[in-house]
Structure 1
């Protein structure tokens, strides 16, 4: 014989509520007053003669604002203290009035489905207010550059000459005592867009150990329009660095000793020999000498913290700039402009020893006329400068890809001076971001080395 169906506890039947309020969890009715469905646990226990379980009492840690509301008084009991709602809402319709009769007077107003704000994922970012169009920070000048700021295409690769592949960007840095160096070589916007290789080459090297070590930064730019320009620039840097490395002990000693004449003549010979190897290599490849050549610019300094002499030498166009007291000084104006800057006080045993750039233009009263030896391949004179740095100076050596916009767009120099005015030199990532500030009309490769004096 089947047992009789369990009967629900005697409570008023709740009215039917529209979706989604038909479910108890969305009805807004306190848990103590919700009707239990047929077949609930207390009815089954009563049917089997078991005692009813007492009503669950919430623990103090789990008491919520809903549990703390005044319960509906039992019939015949004392009425509860009336609590006026903060915002009384008149129930609309019979169903809403019936639901309101089962809840205390402090029940919050029901928000309709149409007015409920959309729910957000807990990890979703909050909506940001519109700030309007902002000026890009990756370029200077009135108009943005023509090409995209990021690389677009890779150069074509030869499976038989994978050693000739050139990466888009090269970044390096070091610190020796009070000197911090940052060096970079970056493919230009035009080459990035057309899928052409970077024509600039960068080489950084240290020869020797300890305070007697010699630091070299060499950079070269291949001939525009030549498909062997990257290889010629790389060979020029490697051959010149090899010659400097074999003579690094004597060169470091000349720098510390202030022997300016020996430095100039010795570096001139090493440069001529490197260009001689370039011309021989061009003959092997059945190319003209002007097809397999490059402009070369180098910076030499020692790791000795007591020696602040910085030696520049090279052949071809580019730039040598010094940031002193927040102002850029162009130490290498384009020939044949006359050099009118103040002489650089040199080093050595004689306190009045002076050094200046030798481009065939003597400084009156300081040095006799010196005629530079012509270098045949690039058709430009050999350049040399030895100067003493001051604490707080920043010396920047660069190829024409950065020197031209530095001279043509004053805002670029102002932005760099502002960014490099801090007490600490920028890191590698910050130096990359600084030196790749673009200027419309200047889309060539950029190679630069900056030296910060603490």
Structure 2
């Protein structure tokens, strides 16, 4: 060991040349910290004249804030630096140590890579986004040992970029971040599903020459009053049931025009069961309020409630007439119930101070017995609409056509009681001279001007009976593509589910944007 201020025994600055000289082979891994960062820190401390620097480097004792470099000021020698491993001295470290009273700088953490790989790899500067004092990053060698456990090597890019910025260290246990300025790689696309079987009918949005004018989904909600929230009606009503040999599906939709303008649905739908067991009677009632009149949806809902109450109170007698096939009794009795219900609706308009010609509705009803041995299906009502039967894949328009001479549908061959007093079999609708009591309303509400419609038929297995308002009857009569589409969808013996029936009922046709209400019955 040389004296203070003297020259070292070996050649001048030989250790400095060995610092960056790659000709000297490494002696192998050791437990002492011997990395590129350790050597750089040792050289920086020596050149800057920091404590623990090389003797004779120009640093004078006491230059650092008055703290002397002498050990007690007696021997004139420096305190050796404490090695990280007992009994060993840090490689290439100057013989001096830190000054008295100042802690030695902490040694950097040992690298995760072998010293040979770290020594052979070139020093890569830190990205611009990192702070300047951050330690330099040592990327893994191009062809070296496998990556550390928990790290996933980045996938090679499809096309090499023109200028690539070295990425930062990947997070443990995850994918490395994408280099700055390079868009992330898109996830692999899932192969498209194969097209469905061409033989099976596929649900469509519209049929005809072109798409309808309005959007297929609801746009605006109707205006609501805080104190009249009970008067609101939903956009869509869906219901269904199965009794005896028939399966029922019923739906009421707001039209495209009303959805766009934020108007309420003018159609009303009521499905009810009266009684239990084989004595039960199913009623499907639908009504449509007058167009472009305030409170049209309220009038339609009130008409359904009135006829539902009347049928429910007389359901036992109606079931007996259905089983006994008393067609005349059914027609006359249902005619009275319809006139009475619509008369109450006109009386309600008078109580509200509304015009009875505006506060009115068309009414269409269907009676279905729950007895599986009784296949009698009875339709009755007032106003426009449609009654269709799908048999053997062909549509049959069986809507009763009223006239001035006849207000009922033609009798079905082979069904019903033989005519008694009249050719139509009406016995209870004759004028017996009974005086009519005075009406409590002035002026007295008149009976409906629309003729009464009635039809009774016997269902066959595989038939589908469809009753609907004018919103669906119009396109069924005017667009052959819709008839063909629904015939394919509804010709099966099994009734469609509620969701499938809803999708079929709302297939749109250009030029028809009114509300749609339909009830279909499939015979097992």
**Please, what TM-score do these two structures have when normalized by structure 2?**
0.61
Residues 29 and 423 of structure 1: CA distance in aligned 2, closer, same or farther (over 3 Å): farther
CA distances 1:62-102 after superposition (whole Å, capped 9, x unpaired): 9xxxxxxxxxxxxxxxxxxxxxxxxxxxxxxxxxxxxxxxx
Aligned with residue 29 of structure 1, among 123, 143, 155: 143
Q: Which has the higher contact order (CA 8 A, sep 6+)?
A: 1
Match of 2:185 in 1: 119
Aligned with residue 319 of structure 1, among 380, 383, 386: 386
Match of 1:176 in 2: 243
The alpha carbon displacement at 1:173 in A equals 0.5
In the TM superposition, what are the counterparts of 1:6-155 in structure 2 within 5 Å? 13-14=119-120, 16=122, 24-25=139-140, 27-31=141-145, 119-121=185-187, 125-126=189-190, 137-155=204-222
In the TM superposition, what are the counterparts of 1:302-317 in structure 2 within 5 Å? 302-317=369-384
Note the residue ranges of structure 2 that are not aligned, 5 or more in a row. 1-79, 84-88, 93-113, 128-136, 151-178, 196-201, 431-444
Residues 5 and 136 of structure 1: CA distance in aligned 2, closer, same or farther (over 3 Å): farther
The 3-state SS of whatever aligns with 2:283 is strand
The alpha carbon displacement at 1:175 in A equals 0.7
Match of 1:194 in 2: 261
Number of equivalenced pairs: 355
CA distances 1:352-385 after superposition (whole Å, capped 9, x unpaired): x69xxxxx9x7xxxx5799999x95542210000
Q: Provide the C-alpha distance between the structure 1 equivalents of 2:138 and 2:523, rounded to a whole number of angstroms.
A: 74
Q: Provide the C-alpha distance between the structure 2 equivalents of 1:424 and 1:229, rounded to a whole number of angstroms.
A: 36
Q: Provide the C-alpha distance between the structure 2 equivalents of 1:345 and 1:252, rounded to a whole number of angstroms.
A: 21
Q: Provide the C-alpha distance between the structure 1 equivalents of 2:495 and 2:511, rounded to a whole number of angstroms.
A: 29
User: Is contact 2:118-2:138 (8 Å) kept?
Assistant: no
User: Is contact 1:267-1:313 (8 Å) kept?
Assistant: yes
Match of 2:278 in 1: 211
User: Is contact 2:366-2:379 (8 Å) kept?
Assistant: yes
Match of 1:5 in 2: 90
Q: Provide the C-alpha distance between the structure 1 equivalents of 2:335 and 2:288, rounded to a whole number of angstroms.
A: 19
Residues 243 and 371 of structure 1: CA distance in aligned 2, closer, same or farther (over 3 Å): closer
Q: Provide the C-alpha distance between the structure 1 equivalents of 2:324 and 2:255, rounded to a whole number of angstroms.
A: 40
Match of 1:404 in 2: 474
The 3-state SS of whatever aligns with 2:185 is coil
**Please, what TM-score do these two structures have when normalized by structure 1?**
0.69
Aligned with residue 490 of structure 2, among 405, 413, 420: 420
The alpha carbon displacement at 1:277 in A equals 0.5
The alpha carbon displacement at 1:250 in A equals 0.5
Are positions 1:224 and 2:291 aligned together? Answer: yes
Residues 336 and 31 of structure 1: CA distance in aligned 2, closer, same or farther (over 3 Å): farther
CA distances 1:243-297 after superposition (whole Å, capped 9, x unpaired): 0000000001100110111100000000111111112112112222211111000
The 3-state SS of whatever aligns with 2:302 is helix
User: Is contact 2:280-2:371 (8 Å) kept?
Assistant: yes
The alpha carbon displacement at 1:234 in A equals 0.8
The 3-state SS of whatever aligns with 1:264 is helix
User: Is contact 1:326-1:417 (8 Å) kept?
Assistant: yes
Match of 1:262 in 2: 329
Residues 265 and 342 of structure 1: CA distance in aligned 2, closer, same or farther (over 3 Å): closer
Q: Highest CA radius of gyration, 1 or 2?
A: 2
